[in-house]
Amino acid sequence: MSNEGVNGGQDPLGRGQNPYKPQKESCTLGNNSLEIVHMRRLTKHKIGMQEIIHMKQHIIHRIRMQDKQEKEHFKGQKIQI
């Protein structure tokens, strides 16, 4: 996943910086402090979503491996009903 912010990495106010990485001078309380808080929330949400997707991949992989083992276990056995 790319690390670009909203509007392709451009700051909404057109300052040409990545909003996910606020510059040190913009961290002081001022007009854009709310904007920084919002971007940090978006970043946390993005990281949270990545963790969820990663866990889903782990679970899917585990299920596939289990299916594979069961197929190997029952291979060659005649199932009688």
Site of tokens 């001022």: 30
Per-residue pLDDT reduced to its tens digit, 25-78: 544 555 577 788 888 888 888 888 899 999 999 999 999 999 888 888 877 777
| The predicted structure's pLDDT at residue 30 | 55
Give the whole-angstrom CA distance, residue 22 versus residue 37: 10
The amino acid sitting at 53 is I
Could you tell me the two tokens for 76? Answer: 């060659």
The amino acid sitting at 40 is R
Judged against a pLDDT cut of 50, whether residue 4 lies above it is answered with: no
Torsion sign, CA atoms 32, 38, 41, 45? negative
Could you tell me the two tokens for 35? Answer: 């904007």
Question: What's the pTM?
Answer: 0.40
- Kindly list the domain boundaries of the chain, sorted by start residue: 1-74
